[in-house]
Structure formats: structure tokens, C-alpha cells
Structure 1
Amino acid sequence: MALRCVGLLLRNEMGGLASITASRNISTSQVHHKVLENSPNAYLDKSILNRYKKLDIPHDKIQATYLWIDGTGEGIRLKDRVLDSVPKKPSDLPKWQYDGSSTYQATGGNSDTLLIPRAIYRDPFKPGKNDVIVMCDTYQADGKPTPTNHRCDMQEAVDKVLESHEPWFGIEQEYTLLDMDGRPLGWPSSGFPAPQGPYYCGVGADRVVGRDLVEAHGIACLYAGIDFAGTNAEVMPAQWEYQVGPSLGMKVADDLWVSRYILHRIAEDFGVVVTFDPKPVVGQWNGAGAHTNFSTKAMRAENGIEAIKAAIEKLSKQQEKHIRAYDPKEGKDNIRRLVGRLETSSISEFSWGIADRGVSVRIPRGVADAKKGYLEDRRPSSNCDPYSVCNALLRTCLVE
């Protein structure tokens, strides 16, 4: 099946621009072969690892993969340790340290940075049934949170409102699959596919790229214990979305970070790169967001629409604060995406509406009809820190 190429501008993962003007037909098999050529991980024989996974490990030994967020606010780091007992709760796990000077979080002369376990998940990559993934937050040598540790702030807000308001969150995580050259997966090497239109929730080899990877991710997340709600192909080819939640309190943010790690790990096996860049391709292509659904006990109750509108009124007065909280670069990434078109609002103006995807905050049609439910904040970028996003919503709508 051939893909029609058109001349546009491509913004690669490093921020560069390449002018592409050639127009010719390239088969998807040629494209796939090129992807594999440039991806060392895709050439590795996975059956070799599977041979060792079948070995019996002593029953009193488990493997724990500690995850944390690095100093960029976007990168996930990890390392494994072997434990002598099965942890039932995060406090059963030992605290640990790592070299913060290698993760943009400390200097070489005082580099030990503390990991504190906060949430436990089953590990879909290790062979033992008790092996775990451990989501951690990070602390400097003086005991203060690292600058990119936004989890502790969200936890403080949740503790204040959990019992009285029962906040629920659901996040729609969009992302794009790339080849090793930084081009969206399956796109012709010297051009672009046909314009947006047939790809959203599409089916067919000429419309969808990477479904096997996407479905493997969903299965692995369900195994891990993530509140994984579903997935769909998005508006741009090679762009996908999955949903996490709805979950009470802290869980959705922990789940989202762990689900991102699982996605990156599965992509390693396929020899594919995952990007959460909010605008990976310049031009008339949709960007990528992390639309965040938020509700409280009052919003979910009869006539909860009034509580929803009251929250929107509070949000309308804090546009700048939320834009800063909604991407790791305090708006500098999102400014490429929130342009007032392509299903986005303007980054500089707050707006809301019913069933309108071009606003800052949307009330879904079903919510408006039922007069209760939730609101959808459409401003967070795909590379947002969910701790920072959820914390901002909690503090604006419930705490401050």
C-alpha cells in the first residue's frame, strides 16, 4: 500500500526543522525495513532473554524496579534491586539513593539523592510473580524535595480535601510513535501522508501504525494494576491516546507515570521511540495533550452542574498559574500547541463551553444533559507532570 507524500515542515525530536519537498510513492514495507535498519533494539533476539526468564529464582528473592522523575521534569529513570521479602505496602520497601549529578538534580560533590517508595505495581517485564515496579519521589541531601518533585505538593493538597471532596481524576494521554530518525512511524522518508481526516479511531494498514505495540501496552498496564481505561488511534497518523482513571486522589498521577514507563519499555522491544512532545510536527497536524478530567463529590451529585460551573469560574481567574503548571517548561512547550485551532484553545485566554473542543475547559454533552459529572481541562500538554496538573486543579478549585 503506497502513501502519498506532500511537502511540509517536520519538527524533529531535537527541535530542528527539515524542509521536505519531494513528492513520490514509498511502500510501507520499505518504510518498515528502514525503521528496523536504524533500530538496534529491534534486531535483538528476544528469545535469548526468554530462555533465562524460565530459570527458577529462589522463592525468597524478588526484583524491584525503582522509578523516579529526573531533573528535566519529563524523563523517567530506573534501577533494579533484589529484595528478600515481598512488599505489601510502599513503607515495606527500603529507601534508596542514586547519583543525582547524572540526572540533572545534584552536583558531583554532593550527588546522593534520596528515593522514597510511594506506590507499588506488578512488573510485566520480570519473570517472578512477586516482582514489582516502585514509583518513588526524590529528595535532596538536605531533606528538601528536588525541584521536579511535584508529588509531595499534590499529596499535601489531597490530604486536605480527600475526605470532604473525594476528588477523582482521569487523564487522556496522547503520544506519537517515531522511528530512530525522529520521524513519525510509518511516514514516508521523503514526505508526508495524506492530510488529517481518516486516521482518528481508524482501521487499516494505510491509516493506522503501531497497533500491536499499543495493544501490548494496554495488556501490560492492566497486569501492573494501573486503572487503564482504554485507547484509540488519534487524529495524526502514528499518534495514539490512552486513558487512565477515573481514580481517587493520588492514584491517577502515579498510574500515569508508571504507564509512561511501561510504554517506553515495550517500545524498546519493538525498536520504536515514543515522544510526548506536544507538537512533534509543524503545520496542520494536531498536537498532543493530556486532557484532564476532574470531579468532586459535589459535581457528581444531583445538579452537580452548579459545582462544575463554580469550579470553572475559579479556573477562569487563574489562567497564567495553570499554564505554568501544565507543561515542564512552564508554558514554553504548550505555546506551540495551544494556538486556538486544531482542537485547542488560545494559550493566553481562558474559555469554556459545552461539547466544544476548541476551549480551555469543556463540559461534555453527556454531563450537560445529566446536569452532573465532571469537567475536562484541555490545556495540559502531553509531556505534563500529572502531579503538577492535579495539584493545580485541587488548589484552585478546592483549597485556595
Structure 2
Amino acid sequence: MAQTLQDSPNALINKTVLSRYMSLPVSDDIVQATYIWIDGTGQGIRCKDRTLTFRPKSPEELPIWNYDGSSTYQAEGSNSDTYLHPVAIYKDPFRRGSNILVMCDTYKFDGTPTESNKRKSCYEAAKNCSEDEPWFGIEQEYTLLDVDGHPLGWPKNGFPGEQGPYYCGVGATKVYARDLVEAHYRACLYAGIKIAGTNAEVMPAQWEYQVGPCLSISVADDLWVSRYLLHRIAEDFGIVVTLDPKPISGDWNGAGAHTNFSTKVMREDGGIRHIESAIEKLRKVHEKHIKAYDPHEGKDNERRLTGKHETSTIHTFSAGVAHRGASIRIPRGVYDDGKGYLEDRRPSSNCDPYSVVDVILRTVCLNEV
């Protein structure tokens, strides 16, 4: 950690100075709102702040705002105004009080969604299959880096010991930056994100947290805001977060966003039949899902889905009970109970969860091919 503190300008700032100003009183009717959106890469998160003179109770009460889309890969400089449409509100764990975080959709000047706005299509799919009561849970894996791009805690001129002691590990030689993880966990709970838990992962400096179970599209809203919080908190620690699905080549685990899914009938007695039916639907459109499961239509994921390191191969579809090398895993407890959910292990860690939710709903619930 000492290397990070020396090299990161953010970590060198005396954080106690900020408290002098954050404790300044403001009027009760003032709300600071941070608008959050996805940029043109489909992975980057942007934000900016505005002052409100009322306390909004729903996203619909919030003003539509704009920004320079030419600086976020979403518009030309000659016609750069791009618009933010609020879709979800969260409590702000940084400013606290009545201040809020606002997840937004992005739209072009003519009212059409930007290319990176995958939420609109997801919302339409979710609306059309609401009677199925689809639940999602997403396991977000990520890797921590020093500001020089080197995995946090790894030797600067070599590699740590082989994988084995790090997963759910405890101890200074096995786990790095638990402080950041704890801060993020608590911030998510405060914000109102449905975070279910967290753990150290198989590769050193790699962690995971889980969001869900959530009803339909709300898991994607929660996951994007949780990613914002993760990057934002990492600023304070002088640590870099990467969602790259294979940040270190070689004999090291990659990072995914395993997606757990069920419908009402899957969760009821005899639901295993509906789970198996859903798997057969997914089998028929494997390539379609692979393209939807990372921002570069499978090109990122092909570095991870090799058939090794607890992954299936990207080229073929497979399913199995308690099989972490399968495309779709049926947990042992689900198989024994005869009901529950399935786990799609193909989505990459840098996936757009709106795209993942969208394509699963359209395949399983709406029977689109």
C-alpha cells in the first residue's frame, strides 16, 4: 500500500481538510444532486452535479439536463448537446443528508437514445414480461490496480504465489485493500443499493460483490450505481479499479459478472422443469448472448471464456449441475429442491447489465430468437 500512497495524487491529499467545508450548514430546501450516466464506450461512468431547491420523491420530478456529448464519445462537436433523463434516485453516501445520486439515460438531440443507452430496450422488455416476475442477481468481480497499472499488492518485478490461498482469504499476505471493500459495501447499503454480500476472489487483488435479488431492470440500475460508488471511493484510496475480464494473462482467473435468473414458475414447486426449458432456449441463441455479454460483442470475453479457470469455452454452450466450467450452472441446492434459479456464467465483468437483463428476458420470457 505504501507504493500506492506515494504515487497517487488523490491519496496524498489531506482528507481531513474537506470536513471543514462539508460541515458548513446549508438551507433545508437545498439538495445537491449528482447525475450519473454511461459514456460512449459503454463502460465508462461520468457524473456532474447540480443544485435543486426541492426534495424530489421520484425521478419524474427531476429536471432533464444536458452535457457535452462530444467529450464522452457520444456526439459531434458541431452538434454536441446530449440529454440526461433521470431514471433512479439513490441516497448520496458522500454528502449524506438529503443529497442524492441520480442514474440517468442518455438521449441525442433528436430524442433518440444514444448508442450506449441500452436501458431503453431493457425497460421495454421488462415491461412486456412483468407478469413473469423475473428476478436477477449479478455477481460483480473486479480487480484492484496500483496507479501504475500493476495489480495491487503484487511484487513489482514478479508474481505472487499461485492461486489457492486468496479466495475468501484472511491475512496480510492473502488480501489487499479490504478497507476499500468495506467502505464500498457500507456506501452501497446507505445508498439503497440491494447489495447482498462481498468476498475476496481467486486471484490476489481481485474481489467480488453481489447485487440482488432484484426485480427485473432494477438490478442493472443498482449495479451501475454500485460501480460508480466503487470507482469514486477508490479515488480516495488512490487505487484503480478495473472491470477488465482478463486483466492478467496466463494462469490466473479472469473476472465475470455471473448472472442469476429466475421467474415466478421457476421458484415454485416443480420449477426445475421451467429452469431446464429456459436452458434449452438459451442453448439455441448462444452466439446472440455472447455478443450481448460484453461491450465489444464477445471480443473481451474470448480472453476469459477459454474453458479453463472455472469458465466454459466461448465457442460452445454447456449446462450442468454445480459445474463451474459450464455456460449455465444449476446450483446443487436448486437441483435437490427441484426449484429456484439458474446461473449464467458467461457475462463478462465489464458487461452492460442492461444488455444482459434485456437479452435474457427476450430469450426466456418473450421467446425471441
Residue identity matched to 1:116: H
CA distance in 2, matches of 1:246, 1:113: 33
CA distance in 1, matches of 2:87, 2:2: 42
Q: Which residue of 2 aligns with 1:393?
A: 360
1:146 to 114, 122, 128: 114
Q: Which residue of 2 aligns with 1:302?
A: 269
Structure 1 residue 178: deviation in Å? 0.3
Q: Which residue of 2 aligns with 1:36?
A: 5
Q: Which residue of 1 aligns with 2:244?
A: 277
Residue identity matched to 2:204: P
CA distance in 2, matches of 1:44, 1:186: 21
Structure 1 residue 36: deviation in Å? 1.3
- Could you list the runs of 5+ residues in structure 2 that have no partner in the other structure? none
Q: Which residue of 2 aligns with 1:112?
A: 81
CA distance in 2, matches of 1:36, 1:111: 38
State the superposition RMSD in angstroms.
0.6
Write the deviation string for residues 298-356 of structure 1: whole angstroms up to 9, x where unpaired.
10010100000000000000011000000000001000000011000000100000000
- Could you list the runs of 5+ residues in structure 1 that have no partner in the other structure? 1-31
Residue identity matched to 1:349: T
Whether 2:193 is the aligned partner of 1:212: answer no
CA distance in 1, matches of 2:197, 2:188: 10
Whether 2:200 is the aligned partner of 1:233: answer yes
2:259 to 276, 292, 297: 292
What pairs with 1:20-35 in structure 2 (closer than 5 Å)?
A: 32-35=1-4
What pairs with 1:166-185 in structure 2 (closer than 5 Å)?
A: 166-185=133-152
What pairs with 1:182-193 in structure 2 (closer than 5 Å)?
A: 182-193=149-160
Write the deviation string for residues 246-282 of structure 1: whole angstroms up to 9, x where unpaired.
0002110000000000000110000000000000001
Whether 2:40 is the aligned partner of 1:71: answer yes
Whether 2:165 is the aligned partner of 1:198: answer yes
Structure 1 residue 367: deviation in Å? 0.3
Q: Which residue of 2 aligns with 1:56?
A: 25
2:105 to 131, 137, 160: 137
Q: Which residue of 2 aligns with 1:121?
A: 90
Percent identity over the alignment? 67
Q: Secondary structure at the match of 1:357?
A: coil
Write the deviation string for residues 341-380 of structure 1: whole angstroms up to 9, x where unpaired.
1000000100000000000000000000000000000000
Structure 1 residue 60: deviation in Å? 1.1
CA distance in 1, matches of 2:83, 2:24: 33
Whether 2:46 is the aligned partner of 1:46: answer no
TM-score using structure 2 length: 0.99
CA distance in 1, matches of 2:2, 2:178: 17
Whether 2:365 is the aligned partner of 1:365: answer no
Whether 2:316 is the aligned partner of 1:324: answer no
TM-score using structure 1 length: 0.91
Residue identity matched to 1:375: L
Q: Which residue of 2 aligns with 1:340?
A: 307
Q: Secondary structure at the match of 2:129?
A: helix
Residue identity matched to 1:193: P
Find runs of 4+ consecutive structure 1 residues off by over 2 angstroms.
Answer: none
